[in-house]
Amino acid sequence: MGTYSRISQEIQETLAAFTACTALPISALTLEGAVLGYAGSKLPGALDVDKLKAAYEKVALRLESCELTPWPIHLNLDGDSQFQLTAVPITEGNHSPGIYLIGPFSRSQLHACVHFLVGLLRQIQASKVSSPGGFPANLHVRRAVRYVHQHYKEPLTLASMARHLGITKSYLAQVFRGEMGETFSEFVNRFRVEMSKEALAHGSEPVLTIALRHGFTSQNYYGRVFKKPHRDYSQ
C-alpha cells in the first residue's frame, strides 16, 4: 500500500507541475478506467470525470485494435473537431500502468507542438525520479515556462523575462538551465519552431511570414534555429 501511495503521489505531482507550466488540464487513468489523478479540472473546457472515462474507453478500443500502438493517440471531442485530447502511456513504451490524457486543447493552436508537450511531460517525470522536490521546483521557472507558452509570438529575452518575474537575469539563467536542462533562449526557440511546423507543412505563406509570426526576427535566423539539432521528444 505504501508503494502504491507513493506512486500515486508522484503522478499527481507530475500532473500539477505540467498544468502549472502549460495551463492545460491533464489526467492519469488506470487500464481499468479509474482516475489516478487530475490537474486543471477547474480550467475552462476541462472535462468532468464521466467524460474523461468515456474518452479513455475510446483509447482502450484503439489499444485493442492495434498490435503496435502509434503513440500519441489523438481524440477529437464529440461534436467539436476543433478540440482534442492526446493520450500517452504513463510509462514510456508500456501502457500497462495506465495512460495520461492531455487536454482538451485547440487543434489550431497546439496540435503542432504535441510532441513538445509530451516531451515536457516526460522531462517532468524524469525529474521526479531524480529530484524529490518535483519539477520545476522553482516557482519562477514554472512561471517562465507558462509565460512562453502564452506569449511565444512576442519578443522574449532572458532580461525581459527576469524583469517580468521581478528577479535578476543571472539568477533566472542559473535556475532555468538547472531545472530545464537548456538555456531560456534555447527553450523559447525550440517552442517557437515546434509551433511553426504545422504552418510550414499545411500553409501556403512564405517562410519569412511564418518566421515573423512565430516570434523570429528574420528568415535567416529562423532557418539556423530550425536546422539546429533539438532533443527528440517523439515516442
CATH code of the domain in which 178 resides: 1.10.10.60
Which of 104, 130, 156 is the last residue before a domain boundary? 130
1: pLDDT confidence band, cut at 50, 70 and 90?
A: very low
18-35: burial string, b at 16+ Cβ within 10 Å, e else = bbbbbebbbbbbeeeeeb
Which of 130, 161, 179 is the last residue before a domain boundary? 130
CA atoms within 13 A on the CB side of 228: 13
Over the stretch 122-153, which tens digit does the pLDDT of each residue have?
Answer: 888 876 554 444 455 678 888 898 888 888 88
Q: To which residue does cell 517523439 refer? A: 234
Over the stretch 160-178, which tens digit does the pLDDT of each residue have?
Answer: 999 999 989 998 998 898 8
pTM summary value: 0.63
Give how many domains the chain has, as a whole number: 2
109, 178: one domain: no
Q: Is the omega angle on the peptide bond into residue 44 within 30 degrees of 0, that is, cis?
A: no
- Grid cell locating 88: 500517452
125, 21: one domain: yes
67, 125: one domain: yes
